[in-house]
Amino acid sequence: MAHLLITGGAGFIGSHACLTLLEAGHSLVVVDNFEGSSAEPLQQVAALAGLGPLERLSAAHWGTADEPRRLLVLQGDIRSSGDLDRAFKASSTAVVEAVLHFAGLKAVAESVAEPLHYWDTNVAGSRCLLQAMARHNCRTLVFSSSATLYGLPDSVPITESAPVRPINPYGHTKAAVEQMLADLAASQAGWRLARLRYFNPVGAHPSGRIGEAPPRAAQQPLSPDQPGGPRAKTVLEGLWQGLAHGRWHRSQGLHPCHGSGRRPPGGCAQTAQHPPPTPHPESGEWPGPFGARIGAGL
């Protein structure tokens, strides 16, 4: 089982990913500055995963009561190399093998009003994270990108090869990070970098205890058919099941959308508007700009 660093793990997608990864047996260290969230979803995640409650270990550091602590939470900023160094060294027994990078700002209108804040958090934050990964010899990352990259597409359904033409600052920052990842992957062997261009994931955990509005969901579970209710959950569970089961194996490499060789139950992040890719018939590697590195094995 892997020890993973999760940025933005208290957020909507990050909290669902944390739960699925914990249920699969991985141990996690979460870095989140709670700008768009709070520690509450992670309390819920710890409970749903059957771990002890999150205890405050220091001013900005929590851990589950179990030993060894399966979930460590650091209130920290991805733009701070000191916070990231603390996160990489948070476990005294395990080395971070891979990073799932969810931290970021995502509101289009806000990005138009505050573009510098978006470039700082999304782009400078991602650069700072990649630099920290290099310092700590961790070179595997899954980046939360966005289908907003496609802007106004020429046709739908959108294919992965559609031109990248973002039309707002939020989209520009996602495109910039993708370019940074591509440049890094081209510069040096050993980086294994994946991007997931989400459309609009919706839904909540069947318990109703984590969702896009966790405090509300916790107090008043959503009805099954309500948008965001249990039956409305679409891609999240399948996506993280795919990552959690089978793609951290050293021999197999990382194929984010296709967990254990079979289609994950909820599909992948792109299935709503995008037919699933297929592996190369001979090499078995999955297509896409990062395909060769993704499939290269650790």
Ligand X SMILES: NC(=O)c1ccc[n+]([C@@H]2O[C@H](COP(=O)([O-])OP(=O)(O)OC[C@H]3O[C@@H](n4cnc5c(N)ncnc54)[C@H](O)[C@@H]3O)[C@@H](O)[C@H]2O)c1
Residues contributing to the site for ligand X (CB under 6 A)? 7-8, 10-14, 31-37, 77-79, 102-106, 121, 125, 144, 146, 198, 200-201
How many helices (H) and strands (E) in the chain? 10, 8
Q: What angle do CA 298, 185, 195 make, to 5 degrees?
A: 80
Identify whether 170 is a catalytic site residue: yes
| Angle of the 81-88 helix axis to the 125-135 helix axis, nearest 10 | 40
What is the identity of the amino acid at 147? A
CB of 278 to ligand X, least distance (A): 24
CB closer to ligand X, 12 vs 191:
12
Which of residues 39 and 182 has its CB atom nearest to ligand X in the complex?
Answer: 39
| Tokens representing residue 270 in the block | 């792109």
To ligand X, the closest distance from the beta carbon of 282 in angstroms equals 33
Nearer Cβ to ligand X (171/253): 171
Tell me how far apart the alpha carbons of residues 52 and 72 are, in angstroms, rounded to a whole number. Answer: 12
| Amino acid, res. 103 | A
The structure tokens listed for 283 are: 């090499």
Of 118, 150, 170, 198, catalytic: 170
Close Cβ partners of 189 (under 8 Å, ≥ 6 residues apart)? none
Shortest CB 193 distance to ligand X, Å: 15
Return the number of the residue (16 or 247) whose C-beta is nearest ligand X. 16
CB of 281 to ligand X, least distance (A): 31
> Which residue has tokens 């993708």?
178
Residues carrying an active site annotation: 170
